[in-house]
Chain A
Amino acid sequence: MSETPQNPSDQDQASEPKQPEHRKEHAESAKPAPKAEEEAPTPPEPGKFGQMLREAGLPFTPLGEASNGMEMIEVLSEHLLDVGRFLRDDPRCRFDLLLSVSGIDMKDYRMSVVHLYSLYTHETLVVKTKADGEEKVQTLTPVWPAADWHERESFDLMGIVYEGHPDLRRILMPIDWIGHPLRKDYVENDPRLVWNRR
Chain B
Amino acid sequence: MDIQGVTIVRDLDTEDMVVNIGPQHPSTHGVLRLVTTLNGEVVKDMEPVIGYLHRSKEKMAESRSYFQYQPTIDRVEYLSSFYDHYAYVASIEKIAGLKVPKRVHYIRMITMELNRISSHLLWFGTFLLDLGASSPFFYAFRDRERILKLFENITGARMMYNYYRFGGVNQDAPPGWLDDVRTVINELPDRFDEYEAIVNKNPIVVDRTVGIGILDRQACLDYGVTGPSLRACGVDIDLRKANPYCCYDEVEFDVPTSEEGDVYARYMVRMEEMRQSIRIIHQALDNFPGGDTAKLLKLQKEYEAAENEIKEAKKRVMLAEKAGNEPDAADVAKSQETAPQLDDDWKYQGQKVNLLVYKPPEGEAMTLVESPRGILGCYLISDGTPKAYRVKWRGASFSNLSVLPPLMVGNLYPDLMAIFGSLDVILPEVDR
Contacts and interface: CB of A to CB of B under 8 A. Distances in A.
B337 interface: no
A66 B364 contact: yes
Interface stretch (B48-56, B295-303, B316-324): B48-56
Prevailing SS type, chain A contact patch: loop
Interface string A1-24: 111101100111011111000000
Contacts of B361: 4
B94 A67 contact: yes
B56 A181 contact: yes
Contacts of B91: 68
A102 interface: yes
A12 B51 contact: no
> Which interface class (under 10, 10 to 19, 20 to 34, 35 or more) fits B?
35 or more
Given A11-B97, A68-B366, A117-B368, A1 B389 contact: yes
Given A115-B377, A172-B50, A172-B54, A14 B102 contact: yes
B221 interface: yes
A76 interface: no
Contacts, number: 133
B275 interface: no
> Which interface class (under 10, 10 to 19, 20 to 34, 35 or more) fits A?
35 or more
Contact of A70 (B51, B366, B390, B431): B366
A168 interface: no
Interface string A102-120: 1011000000010101010
A58 interface: no
B377 A67 contact: no
Contacts of B381: 1, 104
Contacts of A16: 94, 245
Point out which of A15, A145, A148, A182 has the most chain B C-beta atoms below 10 A from its C-beta: A15
Contacts of B363: 3-4, 6, 66-67
B3 interface: no
B368 A124 contact: yes
Contacts of A17: 243-245
Contacts of B246: 15
Given A14-B247, A100-B377, A1 B383 contact: yes
A113 B58 contact: no
Contacts of B199: none
Interface in B334-384: 361-368, 375, 377, 379, 381, 383
A98 B363 CA distance: 22
A103 to B, nearest CB: 8
Contact of A124 (B94, B366, B402): B366
Contacts of B54: 172-173
A96 B363 CA distance: 27
10 contacts: A12-B98, A14-B247, A15-B105, A67-B363, A68-B365, A99-B394, A115-B379, A171-B50, A173-B54, A182-B390
| The 5 residue pairs across chains A and B that have the minimum distance between CB atoms | A146-B224, A17-B243, A4-B363, A100-B394, A122-B242
Interface of A: 1-4, 6-7, 10-12, 14-18, 33, 66-68, 70, 96-100, 102, 104-105, 113, 115, 117, 119, 122, 124, 126, 144-146, 148-150, 153, 157, 170-174, 181-182, 184
